[in-house]
């Protein structure tokens, strides 16, 4: 009798463990004894993009004048990169590269603005005309709608998507929601900010970054409630000019640094603005913890380009150059990735990475497929983040910067002109298109670019020149066109 009872119990337990599917089609019932395994939920992605934040503009990256405890915590809880680069020393081209995963010749957002057209004395001295910025018919300058950007790729893989903050890739039907984001709007400025499309929310004393954070938190909570994985793109306007810090933070740093002669008035304002940026990041991190989704959310923190010039350039030191220049200070930016339980805390990579890597990396980390046959110039660095390898597969990083501006008649030079730059095996070669000259720096021995060494490494120069020409062919680079209004010889 006991044996019979035991057999019945075992059968009952087995039946309880087995999930039975029943599909009714008329009078027929299909019964399956296959066990259904719940689908593994994709990780969320919180992508925070700072504006004009230099490589030395965070405490965790070495600037002890900066107060950034929340970003520092992110730094220590994940992996940071010491050789992270922007795709351009200005914002619109770099943001286009982030969104498309493509180099500048492919997406054709070459410049923020054609400053050479606004300066009457510049065009006559330009030997060449740069490629035209991309124009979408009937909508103006901006990113083409046929570009399959990162938001669209993740959306097609089941993600709920939103973006609040700076877009800078077009208005008039070229904004966030036209490019694959389910919701969002652009905010430009700090106190007297503008929104696109107009939201009618600006009130005296309202700070733009706080509006961004409030909307992102609302979106995150909605996504969690709906049990949908989310991709939240958070491109803050901080710390872009105008220098408009919150009064309480400005007062705090003025008092703290009143006896420090090495920090200028503008730099004190920037320090106060970085504190606001950090405060907002802290609020986003807190909501992840509050909702108990830290372990299932990838957080990435990056900047769009190097820092603008300040009194002592304390936010780009010890590197040479600033925003608008292809020296290291203009293109080196912080990169931090955290995914608890997957990315090792306090880990660091010295591998050179660049903005075009972000798109394929998010696809790799989320196990998402690229559903369209489009060229991505970046590399999926998720194997590095997950500790599976330490090196990238690529051989070179390349920049095309076509920003002619500021011709000086006295010394017959431009403040900036057209340069193509390639970095390979620690050597960095710059092609000055206007003068047809080449400059070389050995970053292995001279990371701060103090000495030009082309004459000492002729073989390296030829090697990099050849690879640069190959890159031009691969990406559809538009060669220089002679300027019909050039007045030189």
Query: What interhelical angle do 91-100 and 358-365 show, nearest 10?
Result: 30
Fold of the domain spanning 44-108+144-385: Alkaline Phosphatase, subunit A (3.40.720)
pLDDT of residue 30: 35
Residue 410 DSSP one-character state: T
The stretches in the chain having pLDDT less than 50 are 1-38
Q: Where in the chain is the domain with CATH 3.40.720.10?
A: 44-108+144-385
DSSP result, 424-467: ETTEEEEEETTTTEEEEEETTT-TT-----GGG-HHHHHHHHHH
The 10 Å CB-count burial string (b at 16+, else e) for 176-214 is bbebbbbebbbbbbbeebebbeeeeebeeeebbbebbbe
pLDDT of residue 39: 60
pLDDT of residue 300: 98
pLDDT of residue 364: 98
Distances (CA, A) of 401 to 105, 287, 441, 462: 10, 39, 18, 21
SS3 assignment, position 423: strand
- Architecture (CATH level 2) of domain 397-482: 2-Layer Sandwich (3.30)
SS3 assignment, position 327: coil
Question: Residue holding tokens 């600006």?
Answer: 202
pLDDT of residue 376: 97
Q: Where in the chain is the domain with CATH 3.30.1120.10?
A: 397-482
pLDDT of residue 118: 87
The string of pLDDT tens digits covering residues 132-168 is 999 999 999 999 999 999 999 999 999 999 999 999 9
Distances (CA, A) of 236 to 56, 104, 192, 279: 18, 22, 15, 12
Cα within 13 Å of Cα(284), Cβ side = 34
pLDDT of residue 202: 84
Q: How many CB atoms lie within 10 A of CB 388?
A: 8
pLDDT of residue 295: 97
Contacts of residue 120, defined as CB under 8 A and 6 or more positions apart, other chains included, come to: none
CA distance 424 to 394: 9
Q: How many CB atoms lie within 10 A of CB 121?
A: 11
SS3 assignment, position 22: strand
Alpha-carbon torsion, ordered 58, 59, 63, 64, to 10 deg:
150
Which tokens go with 244? 């408009």
Give Dmax (Cα) for the chain. 110
pLDDT of residue 25: 33
**Angle at Cα 161 formed by Cα 180 and Cα 222, nearest 5°?**
145
Q: Which of 395, 418, 414 is nearest to 406 (CA)?
A: 414
């Amino acid at each position: 009798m006991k044996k019979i009872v035991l057999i019945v119990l075992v059968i009952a337990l087995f039946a309880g463990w087995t999930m039975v599917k029943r599909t009714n089609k008329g009078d027929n019932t299909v019964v399956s004894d296959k066990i259904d395994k719940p689908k593994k939920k994709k990780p969320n992605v919180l992508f925070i993009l700072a504006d004009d934040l230099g490589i030395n503009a965070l405490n965790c990256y070495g600037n002890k004048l900066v107060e950034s405890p929340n970003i520092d915590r992110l730094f220590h809880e994940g992996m940071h990169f010491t050789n992270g680069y922007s795709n351009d020393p200005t914002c619109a081209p770099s943001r286009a590269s982030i969104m498309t995963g493509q180099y500048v010749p492919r997406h054709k957002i070459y410049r923020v603005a054609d400053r050479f057209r606004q300066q009457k004395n510049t065009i006559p001295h330009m030997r060449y005309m740069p490629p035209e910025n991309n124009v979408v018919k009937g909508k103006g300058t901006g990113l083409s709608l046929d570009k399959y950007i990162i938001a669209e790729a993740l959306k097609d893989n089941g993600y709920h998507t939103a973006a609040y903050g700076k877009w800078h890739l077009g208005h008039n039907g070229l904004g966030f929601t036209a490019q694959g984001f389910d919701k969002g709007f652009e905010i430009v400025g700090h106190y007297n900010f503008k929104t696109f499309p107009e939201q009618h929310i600006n009130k005296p004393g309202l700070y733009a970054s706080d509006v961004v954070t409030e909307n992102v938190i609302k979106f995150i909570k909605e996504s969690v409630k709906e049990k949908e994985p989310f991709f939240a793109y958070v491109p803050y306007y901080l710390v872009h000019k105008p220098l408009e810090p919150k009064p309480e933070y400005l007062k705090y740093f003025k008092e703290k640094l009143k006896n420090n002669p090495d920090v200028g008035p503008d730099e004190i304002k920037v320090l106060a603005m970085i504190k606001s940026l950090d405060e907002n990041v802290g609020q986003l991190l807190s909501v992840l913890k509050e909702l108990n989704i830290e372990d299932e959310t990838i957080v990435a923190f990056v900047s769009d380009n190097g820092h603008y010039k300040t009194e002592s350039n304390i936010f780009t030191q010890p590197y040479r150059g600033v925003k608008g220049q292809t020296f290291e200070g203009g293109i080196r930016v912080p990169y931090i990735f955290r995914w608890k339980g997957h990315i090792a805390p306090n880990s660091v990579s010295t591998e050179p990475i660049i903005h075009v890597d972000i798109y394929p990396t998010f696809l790799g980390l989320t196990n998402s497929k690229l559903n369209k046959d489009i060229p991505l110039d970046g590399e999926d660095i998720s194997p590095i983040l997950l500790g599976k390898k330490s090196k990238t597969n690529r051989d070179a990083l390349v920049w095309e910067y076509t920003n002619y501006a500021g011709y000086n008649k006295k010394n017959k030079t431009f403040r900036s002109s057209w340069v193509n730059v390639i970095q390979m095996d620690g050597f960095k070669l710059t092609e000055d298109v206007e003068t047809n000259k080449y400059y070389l720096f050995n970053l292995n021995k001279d990371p701060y670019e103090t000495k030009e060494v082309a004459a000492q490494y002729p073989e390296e120069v030829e090697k990099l020149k050849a690879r640069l020409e190959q890159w031009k062919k691969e990406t559809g680079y538009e060669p220089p066109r002679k300027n019909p209004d050039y007045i030189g010889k």
